[in-house]
Structure 1
Amino acid sequence: MIQLDQLDRSDHRAPYVQIAAALREAINAGRLGPGDRLPSESELTQHYGVARMTVRQAIQELKTEGLVMSEHGRGVFVRAAPVVRRLASERFARQHRERGKAAFLAEAEKAGYVANVDSIHVRQAPAPAPPAERLGIKAGDPVIVRERRYLANGEPVELATSYIPVDFARGTAITENDTGPGGIYARLEEAGHPLERFVEEVAARMPTPAERRALQLGPGVPVLTVVRTAFDTAGQAVEVCDTVKAAYAYVLEYDFPAR
């Protein structure tokens, strides 16, 4: 078993908090690396001289932070998902679309992780009220809905749902699973909607049960939500993208002038 400090009985923190802190420090210091198995409940119980429930509380703390994950019948392992650094000020640069890279793939190329989409569903449906308001259309007006799940190094990290008015998507690959090089935004620009700006709203919340399953999140792990509206040079909103991100996997970076 890796070297772990004993409990400090003079510490005001509960034993499970101290155990979680020791394991967290081992992970952050690299003594427990991505994919490594944590000491078993029995080993930790014996090492610390505490009840099994105390050890389970400590492990739950780390699961809630997204640091570890359980594999049934095998144990608890350090989560191997990379941190996705999302630089908002350049991720939608036209140069990426011209190179045939959608935003998520461009980020992956820069950060060095393997990115892919393992689930895509495309359909025409009535627009729900929130995206309809952002698009400047009526709730219930027809839109193309594109739902997908993004993976980083094989780990699910993001769910994204785009809403595009049917009039803008008609006759383009936006209505197909594969939108082609450069993604949705490249197709919109080819259809006569050169993009001018984006507006993003960022928030945090707990996931729904369906989101928890899709992102393989443990109990208590929050998500980040980013709702992005894309505008063309005429000031028309042409797409709303509602994303749900595993909070442990993301750093959102914004670079803007001080003016």
Structure 2
Amino acid sequence: MCAKDVKYRKIEEDIIEAIKEGRLRPGDRIDSESVLKQRYGVSTITVRRAFSDLISQGYLNGVQGVGTFVAKKQMIRALTSISFSEELLEQKYVIDLYVDAIEEIIDKRISGALDIPPEQSVIRVKRVRMANEEPVAYHISYIDSRILSLKQAQEIYERKSFYKTLDAMGRKPTWAVENYSVRDVTDAHISELMGIPKGNSAFFIKRTAYNDEDKVVEYSETYFHKDWYSVNVTIKI
């Protein structure tokens, strides 16, 4: 192994160690190339190779013209649970929920998605899912008011979970169909709550959730912050 290899790996090892020990946290800016060149007595090429390796390994993110930063740990969905909060807990995240609004509405489009009469009122629950004190997703859930009344929905404030509230009433869905796409965030309010510049893209998921009798329980639309979200799918042949 040549001296140059040792030097770029030393830079990598030191940065990884600082991340694992918490001295560098997600979003922190890494010292510039010039600072690291002087500290380690190496060339620009050596520092850039270390950065390139750490970016490819998911430790760092490079922003052209701005700098290099510690990457955020993505929440990787394995689609093992119908509850998003349960998946976050399984991955050791500290979770919280900010309830944006709970209201009763009439909406023909939503009634169609829920397979209920168009004149039937619907409970709409808007909320922000937090992970490690950062916004990960903006959920908008719709449910027939005959399944969950406006008064019952208020329990979401205390339980900090839409599905825990349904489960406590014996109405939690058991399976779901999801449609994934990418959509620009055009709503200024959602943009502000999610920390996503208006007009920027996010993962957009439409979900229809069913009970054991294959009846629709919930229809939802969710914006996931793309810096925090990815999906793993296992396919057996």
TM-score range, shorter chain: 0.5 to 0.7
Contact 1:205–1:222 (CA under 8 A) maintained in structure 2: yes
Question: C-alpha deviations, 1:127-163, integer Å up to 9, x for none?
Answer: 351x322211244531111110011111111000110
The answer to whether 1:78 aligns with 2:58 is no
Describe the SS at the equivalent of 2:227.
Answer: helix
CA distance in 2, matches of 1:231, 1:171: 20
Match of 1:235 among 214, 230, 237: 214
Task: State the identity as a percent.
Answer: 22
1:9-20 equivalences in 2 (<5 Å): none
Question: C-alpha deviations, 1:163-198, integer Å up to 9, x for none?
Answer: 0001111387334333648x4445545656463421
- Residue of structure 2 equivalent to 1:208: 186
Flag the 1:77–1:220 CA change in 2: closer, same or farther, 3 A: farther
1:1-259 equivalences in 2 (<5 Å): 30=16, 33=24, 34-37=26-29, 67=61, 78=69, 81-88=72-79, 90-92=80-82, 103-127=83-107, 129=109, 131-139=110-118, 141-170=120-149, 173-178=152-157, 180=159, 183-188=161-166, 191=169, 193=171, 195-210=173-188, 211-218=190-197, 221-255=200-234, 257-258=236-237
CA distance in 2, matches of 1:38, 1:194: 45
- The range that moved more, 238-247 or 204-213, is 204-213
CA distance in 1, matches of 2:69, 2:162: 35
CA distance in 1, matches of 2:106, 2:62: 40
Contact 1:121–1:177 (CA under 8 A) maintained in structure 2: no
CA distance in 2, matches of 1:257, 1:172: 45
Query: RMSD across aligned C-alpha pairs, in angstroms?
Result: 3.8
Gaps of 5+ in 2: 1-11, 36-43, 45-59
CA distance in 2, matches of 1:187, 1:157: 21
CA distance in 2, matches of 1:119, 1:192: 22
CA distance in 2, matches of 1:235, 1:198: 10
Contact 1:168–1:191 (CA under 8 A) maintained in structure 2: no
Shift of 1:199: 0.8
Describe the SS at the equivalent of 1:167.
Answer: coil
Gaps of 5+ in 1: 1-25, 49-65, 70-74, 93-102
Describe the SS at the equivalent of 1:137.
Answer: coil
Amino acid of the structure 1 residue aligned with 2:139: A
Question: C-alpha deviations, 1:32-58, integer Å up to 9, x for none?
Answer: 952422568x99xxxx9xxxxxxxxxx
- TM-score, normalised to structure 2, is 0.65
- The range that moved more, 135-144 or 190-199, is 190-199
CA distance in 1, matches of 2:139, 2:133: 17
Contact 1:179–1:187 (CA under 8 A) maintained in structure 2: no
* Aligned pairs, number: 195
CA distance in 2, matches of 1:86, 1:79: 21
Contact 1:82–1:113 (CA under 8 A) maintained in structure 2: no
CA distance in 1, matches of 2:151, 2:106: 19
- TM-score, normalised to structure 1, is 0.60
Flag the 1:187–1:153 CA change in 2: closer, same or farther, 3 A: closer
